[in-house]
Amino acid sequence: MSWLKKTKGIVVAALLGASLMVAGCNAKTSGDASSSPTSGGKQEFTFWTPFSGPDGPFMKKIVDDYNKQSNKYHVKFQIIPSGEYYKQVDLALSTGKKRPDLMIMHVDQIPTYQKKGQLQPVDDIAAKAGIKKEDFVEAPVKYATIDGKWYGIPLDIHPLVLYYNKDLFKAAGIDHPPTNREEFIEAAKKLTDQSKGQWGYVVPTLWPQQFIFPTIVGQNGVKLADEQGKPRLNSPEAVEALTFLKDLVYKYKVSPEKVAQDGEVTLFLQGKNAMQLNGPWMKDQFDKAKINYGVAPVPQLGTKQQAVQAGSHTFVIPKDVKDSKVLEGIGNFLKYVAGHSIDWAQSGQAVASKQVLASDEFKKLTQQQTIVAQQFDYVQFNPPVINWGAMTTDLYKQINLVLLGQKDPQKALDEAQEKALQVK
Amino acid sequence: MKNNAKPQLTPHLPSDRASVNIKVERSKQKWRSKLTSSLFVLPYLVCFIAFLVYPLVHGIMMSFQDYELLSAERHFVGWQNYIDIFTEGNYLHTSFFQGLLGTIKFVIYSVPFLIVIGLALALLVNSLPSKIRGVYRTIFFMPYAVSASVMAVIFIRVFDTNAGLLNIILSKLHLGSQIGWLTDLPWVWIALVGATLWWTIGFNMLIFINALNEVSEEMYEAAKIDGANAWQRFIYITLPSIRRIMIFVVITSTIASFNIYAQPFLMTRGGPGSETTVLLMNVFDVAFGQHRMGAASAMALLMALMIIGVSIIQFRLANKREG
Amino acid sequence: MRYMKSALLITIASILAVVFIMPLLWMVSISFKDDIEAILPNLNVIPDNPTFANYSNVLTGGELNVPILRWIFNSLFVGIITTILVVTIDALAAYGLARLDIPFRKTIFSIIVSTMMIPSIVWFLPLYAEFNSLGLIDTYWALILPYTAGAFGVFLLYQFFSSFPKEIEEAAYLDGANKFQIFYRILLPSAKPALWTLAILTFMGVFNDFVWPLYATNSDEMRTLTAGIAIMTQGSYVNMPNKLMALSTVATIPVMVIFLIAQKSFVKAVTQAGIK
């Protein structure tokens, strides 16, 4: 017995010693971002992304291809789980040592991080690398330009789209996806057959209402915040939008009640839900489930105009990146991406680079990407208000209650407005 | 020995020297004993101080600052964070008390079951024939090996209103229409507590099994001879014998339930509305959603004070019963 | 009569066992289903078209070519080393605090236990900053050391050691044994079931933790299995349950194997202890 313990002790000591050596080796080669080591003569820099989903491999391909063709620079590519991304970013930026040189940031986060002095303007790098603002779709560039300085080079724009089940549409005798509210309600009603457990449009009560609700509000002609950056969550237009969503469940009955998280997606995948409003990132899953689905622009469900809520992945550079060689490398890489982001489009995203949008290869891609790009003229992002996420946490809880039939829309939005004003 | 010691500077009588030497020797022995005893706890204390106390002190200091994760400026603001938490209308106030309500509900709903069912399973497993005991013990413990996100995916599948496995089973048994396990009261709490029990009861069961095995057979034999039935043996022998472990399980289960995060976050997102929003969810929200680490630290420390208070009460009650 | 009672107990236990094992069976069965069948709301445990595709996808690192075998090694290595360290130093500390004349031992014990009640987020960021400034992020040190400060094991073993009868120890003292000998030769052997329990729970806790390992590492080679899986699956496989379940099964198997191995020793220890 004690012999066993003794050998255990030796094993432990040996393992600890080995781990020390391995750890020492790792500490050297894993590279401290701020000192930007070179690998085989090439200038290295780190690039962080939140692409922990099916789109990750597509970005990896772009990075690998770039590394192969570049004899001056090498990109170290890191994927961070999307749910933990901003926590890790915050930690890295605040402690300084292990921060990335280049990273992806959602465009609506830029105002907050810029205000806290965490980002540096990319005007100079872009100019040196030959990247111009006009190379990209206007909306995200405009959004990312604060006080005359440009902070984020866009990769893609991902707005809401309409997914519909072509088989169910055919069976119900509907020949084209709806384009406005009346057509939408009519189609949904035709596609609903409760005896078969089939629904025209299942209304989600949690995610992705963060895209759906602002879309309809925008289509009603207003934004969720005013020009001064104060929230306006309970405008009559907002109440109208929320009431419409609620009516889909309780008045028009095209959706089951008590839909839980992702319930509408599961039903769509099972062929029991005819229409779904979601983002282009769902493409991969629908492909794999072999649903005969079609993609269309989001119908104008609001009363005033076309609008669609979108997010956008942009490239930003943390403030402390000072090494001119690294910055040059970043510029070089970004120029490459702008010209080669067709690979990114393969993942179902619509890219922001005008050059790629206009190319034949892009047009040849399955209809999704072109449909997505069609909506670029009227995309809207979250209001550029600091801590918008925290301000609207309660909003989506209230929306959840309304759609579960547990609260009145006006009251809900009034409360959400009150809570939003409490956030500094 | 001799008590008529004359005040002498250098006692040279053998007997006097011996008595003083014994006293000195004894206190040296005591001191040496304490030293060797302390060596037992030293390795742990080194790790404890280096990797827990040291960062903890920093964390406490953070709660007295307006420590923003992203900005370079950190100002000492004294008790402001704490005051904000108790000020009506302040964001922190709503965040803290709304979350606290959810957490307290969960603690009350889950801890009794965690203890009773844990003990019951341990008793059940121990009463099975020894050949098959291991199989059942393993089965009841296995869910503990599953990670949080997997547990959530499984139970979302089970509890979904329209496509969930539980509702399908229920409708096959003609037991009622679609229950909103994740969207309606009171089902939502039943779902959360149920998922928690499945996932973590193995932990308590294993600890109780250990405790039950420590109880000596002879006591049971003696009681049987005295005519005590199974229930009486349980109340008068088993429970008192496992008292220390019972206290341990009560306290650790309470702490665990206070710290709940994964189940409501992944399964219901804190819904419907804010019903199942728990305190730790809001603490993370303040910390990373608003980047206010100082305020979040303050909230977490208040939560800790509460847990400590509850634990002290539990401890005192347990000791009182001992008499 | 005894057989009836036995039969009743076995029946109850079996019903409960079915309830406990069903979700796990579903998990494994979904992992063998193809993409189309995986999302259907059927209850059958045997897939219509069983496929290994999900597993081959996962084990070859998926499309990201992640070093999944290295991750499994990391998790096992960190888990085992941490468990050995924790059980050792916790047993020493618990025995010292429970039985020996350590100055201020009641106070020290109370402080240790009360830290269990503080949510770890309070020291999470400072801990990260501490390892960062020591340059130890992305090393095995960072993955192992923080767990050694845990109070759980000390608390658990303290409760067990306190309830051991003192007579044997006292007899040994009179025989001239020193503290360490008593600890090593007398107490530890009788405490084996408790020690194995702590070992199992510690290993599982460390192995399944994904938050700290995610922040403590940032290179592919150093990630642990759970952290690595989060990188591959968050936000995507939510609606591809078969891939997620395959990943989960792969992540759960090492833990289960260790548990089953530890069980054997645990059982041996329990039966030995009974023969006191």
Say whether C236 and A288 touch across the interface (CB within 8 A).
no
**Same domain flag for A176 and A291:** yes
**Same domain flag for A106 and A135:** yes
Nearest Cα residue in chain A from B98: A394
Residue A19 half-sphere exposure toward CB, CA atoms < 13 A? 23
Write the single-letter amino acid at B91: Y
**Same domain flag for A125 and A47:** yes
Say whether A19 and C235 touch across the interface (CB within 8 A).
no
Comparing A380 with C226, which gets the higher pLDDT? A380
- Residue C3 corresponds to which tokens in the numbers above? 């057989």
CB A408 within 8 A of CB A402: yes
Grouping H, G, I as helix, E, B as strand and the rest as coil, residue B174 is coil
In angstroms, the CA A175 to CA A118 distance is 51
**Same domain flag for A326 and A225:** no
C touches which chains (3+ CB pairs under 8 A)?
Answer: A, B
Say whether C20 and B198 touch across the interface (CB within 8 A).
yes
What range does the domain containing A197 cover? 159-310+384-421
Mutate: best of A4, A32, A79, partner C, most C CBs <10 A: A79
Q: How confident is the model at residue B72 (pLDDT cuts 50, 70, 90)?
A: low
**Same domain flag for A163 and A192:** yes
Mutate: best of C63, C124, C144, C218, partner A, most A CBs <10 A: C218
pLDDT in tens, C23-71: 888 888 888 887 777 777 666 667 777 888 878 777 766 666 678 788 8
In angstroms, the CA B139 to CA B145 distance is 11
**Same domain flag for A147 and A171:** no
**Same domain flag for A248 and A391:** yes
In angstroms, the CA A349 to CA A333 distance is 20
Per-residue pLDDT tens digits of chain A, which is 424 residues long = 333 343 344 444 444 444 444 443 333 333 333 344 555 678 889 999 998 877 888 899 999 999 999 889 999 998 888 878 888 888 888 777 678 999 999 999 999 899 888 999 999 999 998 899 999 999 999 999 999 999 999 999 999 999 999 999 999 999 899 999 999 999 999 999 988 889 999 999 998 999 999 999 999 999 999 888 899 999 999 999 999 999 999 999 999 998 988 888 888 988 899 999 998 888 877 887 788 999 999 999 989 999 999 999 999 999 988 888 999 999 999 999 988 888 888 887 888 988 888 888 888 876 678 888 889 889 999 999 888 888 898 999 999 999 999 999 999 999 999 999 988 6
Mutate: best of B54, B149, B239, B278, partner C, most C CBs <10 A: B149
The pLDDT of B80-104, averaged and rounded, is 91
Say whether A266 and B160 touch across the interface (CB within 8 A).
yes
Q: Where are the beta strands (DSSP E) in chain B?
A: none
Comparing A145 with B229, which gets the higher pLDDT? A145
In a domain, A89, yes or no: yes
Q: Which CATH class name applies to C62-275?
A: mainly alpha
**Listed residue (C111, C99, C268, C253) closest to C193, CA to CA:** C268
Q: Where are the domains of chain C?
A: 62-275
DSSP conformation letters of A128-148: HHT--GGGB-HHHHHHTEETT
In angstroms, the CA B201 to CA B117 distance is 8
Beta-sheet pairing, A350-351 with A273-278: unpaired
Q: CA C69 from chain center: how many Å?
A: 20
CB-CB neighbors (< 8 A) of B271 in chain A: 205-206, 397, 400-401, 404
Q: Residue C227's pLDDT is what? A: 81
**Same domain flag for A271 and A411:** yes
Backbone angles phi, psi at A60, to 5 degrees: -60, -40
B touches which chains (3+ CB pairs under 8 A)?
Answer: A, C
| Burial (CB count within 10 angstroms: exposed 0-12, middle 13-18, buried 19+), residue C48 | exposed
Say whether C119 and B207 touch across the interface (CB within 8 A).
no
CB-CB neighbors (< 8 A) of C239 in chain A: 262, 265-266, 269, 282, 285
Q: What value, to the nearest 5°, has the Cα angle with vertex C68 and ends C215 and A8?
A: 80
Mutate: best of C19, C122, C276, partner B, most B CBs <10 A: C122
**Same domain flag for A296 and A317:** no
Beta-sheet pairing, A73-79 with A42-49: parallel
CB-CB neighbors (< 8 A) of B90 in chain A: 422
Comparing C169 with C1, which gets the higher pLDDT? C169
Distance to chain A for B173, nearest Cα, Å: 18
Q: How many domains does chain A have?
A: 2
The pLDDT of B131-145, averaged and rounded, is 88
**Same domain flag for A243 and A259:** yes
State pTM to two decimals.
Answer: 0.84
In angstroms, the CA C19 to CA C14 distance is 9
In angstroms, the CA B180 to CA B47 distance is 47
Write the single-letter amino acid at C144: I
Of C132, C219, C232, the CB nearest to A30: C219
Say whether A57 and C62 touch across the interface (CB within 8 A).
yes
**Listed residue (C13, A373, C142) closest to B136, CA to CA:** C13
CATH number of the domain encompassing residue A189: 3.40.190.10
Say whether C231 and A12 touch across the interface (CB within 8 A).
no
**Listed residue (A137, A121, A67) closest to A316, CA to CA:** A121
CB-CB neighbors (< 8 A) of C272 in chain A: none
CB A287 within 8 A of CB A233: no
Residue C31 half-sphere exposure toward CB, CA atoms < 13 A? 23
Q: How confident is the model at residue C275 (pLDDT cuts 50, 70, 90)?
A: very low
Helices (H), B215-292: 217-225, 230-233, 239-241, 243-258, 262-263, 279-284
Nearest Cα residue in chain C from B164: C41
CB A365 within 8 A of CB A356: no
**Same domain flag for A288 and A402:** yes
**Listed residue (A375, A2, A406) closest to A215, CA to CA:** A375
Write the single-letter amino acid at A55: D
Distance to chain B for A192, nearest Cα, Å: 15
**Same domain flag for A273 and A415:** yes
